[in-house]
């Protein structure tokens, strides 16, 4: 399995962000929004995406630290045996 470089990860992040902004701009154009409202829509979507990412990251971190995932692995090994 090839290793991912930081540059590859940055490109993936930038591509995700660029796609989000492109989709917002496309939607704004279909609705016929002027530049001011297009910018407001983009900022709103971007903020919601950031908030959801932060919320998901915190939940995943808490879950990993709780040890519940380790219990599931042990239970899975017992069932497989």
Instruction: Indicate the Cα dihedral angle 30, 34, 37, 38, nearest 10°.
Output: 50
Q: Name every residue whose Cβ is closer than 8 Å to that of residue 21 and which is 6 or more positions away in sequence.
A: 42, 46
Report H helices in 1-81: 6-31, 35-66, 68-80
pTM of the model: 0.55
**How many structural domains is the chain composed of?**
1
Confirm whether 61 is domain-assigned. Answer: yes
Look at residues 52, 46, 54 and name the one whose alpha carbon lies nearest to residue 16. Answer: 46
Confirm whether 44 is domain-assigned. Answer: yes
pLDDT tens string 31-62: 999 999 999 999 999 898 888 888 877 777 77
Cα 18 from Cα 11, distance rounded (Å): 10
Confirm whether 1 is domain-assigned. Answer: no
Residue range of the domain that includes 67:
6-80
């Amino acid at each position: 399995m090839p290793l991912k470089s930081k540059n590859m990860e940055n490109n993936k992040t930038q591509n995700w962000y660029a796609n989000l902004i492109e989709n917002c701009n496309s939607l704004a154009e279909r609705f016929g929004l002027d530049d001011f409202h297009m910018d407001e829509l983009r900022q709103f979507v971007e903020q919601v995406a950031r908030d959801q990412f932060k919320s998901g990251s915190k939940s995943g971190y808490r879950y990993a630290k709780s040890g519940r995932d380790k219990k599931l692995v042990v239970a899975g090994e017992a069932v497989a045996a």
